[in-house]
Amino acid sequence: MSKKLIASRLKDLAAAAEYRVWREVALELDRLEGAEAWKQDETSDEYDYLLIRERLQLMRELRRRGNVRELTFHLAEGLHGNLANTSNPLLYGYARAGTKRLIEEYVDEATRCLDYICVGEFKEFGDDEKVLFFKRTGASFGRSALLLSGGATLGMFHLGVIKALWEHNLLPRVISGSSAGSIIAAMTCTRTDAQLPMLFDPSSINLAAFQRLSFVKLFKGGTLMDSAHLAACLNANIGEESFVQAFERTRRILGVTVSPAELNQQPRLLNYLTAPNVMVKKAVQASCAIPGVFEAVMLEARDFNGDPVPYMRSKRWVDGSLANDLPLLRLARLHNVNHYIVSQTNPHVVPFLQDNVQRSKGLGNLAGSLVKVAGRDVIKVAREHFNGYAAGRVVDKLNDILQQRYSGDVTLFPQQSPRQLMRMLANPSAAEIAQYIKDGERATWPKLERIRMQTRISRAFEDCLQWLKERADERQMARMRPRIKAQRLTMAADASTAG
């Protein structure tokens, strides 16, 4: 009976149309398959449960005693990302939803303590000290980012990933994209929360980026697709904002990677810090400029008066995936990121990806490792024998592609069909976009609890700092109201006298 019930519930899991239903079935399967008992047992060789139990008891005791100074002392000293290896992927491979209860209780208590410090009224610990604590300890703890890979039309999968994360309040503020991923990242980061739901309606977005050139134009221009058609698509979806304008309006941190088309230039991560006045749509167009498919792009920026002008007029930029599909180190340096959620759709990468919560690496990872090792040997031999300018540049590009890291702490990827692969340079229909969105959602559902657990504390730091900032602004405004009122009365009296 149990086997038949499990088989039946597995079919229900595969057919679930929304996350609520999927999670209910997953939790029932955890009970039927014994994973619930594993969750309740805090012991495991996969993490230091003794340290986590000790830290949990200390936080609870200090919070209950109301000793805020000692509590902040111990949090600043001991609240670190992946403490005791609690982010170990293996801890999320036993159950379909969730992990050890001890880890969940620890994260719950750490978040509760941060909220208690944030909103509590303490004579000996004022708001200035609170802000200092949250900034310093938050910087030590780090934050998460979402990275969207290239993949041409296959990148529409990212829409479903973003939809699932956003609907469950798990969408990071830092979002970086390369090539097709830069389109989705830019569309997300140039929309406010109120505007974001329109992004998941296939009929409300224009993703017709591909239009083949005639044979004559192809022969003259040397590219397969019409770059003007791509530019029109981006203009319709992204608009005229610069990176800093998009950040100031939405508070989302957009990153777009571009690769140099010439020698003596390095790949760049463009965002509101490194290129504040660069136009987002031109950066995305450059990141999508697959060599041979679209022509290289000159970036544009706004000058001091807000008018569009060329940016580095003599330089051209191409597909960001070629040299820096996932800019992990640059995000770490610029935005204190140390936890990466990756949505990966590159067709040369996905076949070698496997769920990293599995104990056995499997044939897929073995094949990927063999290909990478063999590829490095080929590149080494090629560099020794090809000294010509053109051949040398091709070898260097291949080396850039091979040496990159294509996965993160949590990696989401689709099951790509032959039809999707054949149509990756074709404009998707509304029905195809809807299917990509559903595929992205379904691929994200099994990872939602893991993402929630691994990002909850960093999100609490951001929320607390925002709350304290808003309260400080309100108090400042309250202090200014009497003076503003007096000034208005004075101005009214002066106007009356003058009349």
What does the DSSP 8-state code read for residue 213? P
First to last CA, the chain: 93
> Residue 178: which of 332, 51, 345 has the closest Cα?
345
Q: Could you give the dihedral angle defined by the CA atoms of residues 196, 202, 204 and 210, in that order, rounded to the nearest 10 degrees?
A: 110
* Cα→Cα distances 122→67, 118, 127, Å: 10, 10, 9
Catalytic, 179? Answer yes
What does the DSSP 8-state code read for residue 95? S
- SS3 of residue 430 by DSSP: helix
Share of the chain residues as helix, strand and coil, in percent rounded to the nearest 5: 60, 10, 30
Assigned token pair, 103? 């880890």
Whether the Cβ atoms of residue 110 and residue 455 lie closer than 8 Å to each other: no
Residue 290's Cβ-side half-sphere holds a number of Cα atoms within 13 Å equal to 18
**Which residues, at least 6 apart from 198, have a Cβ–Cβ distance to it below 8 Å?**
191, 204, 205
Q: How far is CA 376 from the centre of its chain?
A: 29
Catalytic, 319? Answer yes
State the Cα–Cα distance between residues 348 and 241, nearest whole angstrom: 33
Dmax (CA) for the chain in angstroms is: 94
> Residue 213: which of 227, 197, 193 has the closest Cα?
227
* Cα→Cα distances 105→50, 61, 153, 315, 463, Å: 14, 14, 41, 53, 20
- On the 0-12 / 13-18 / 19+ scale of CB atoms within 10 A, 89 is middle
* Active-site residue, selected from the candidate residues 44, 87, 178, 179: 179
Positive or negative torsion for Cα 322, 325, 330, 335: positive
* Active-site residue, selected from the candidate residues 226, 319, 325, 409: 319
Active-site residues: which are they?
179, 319
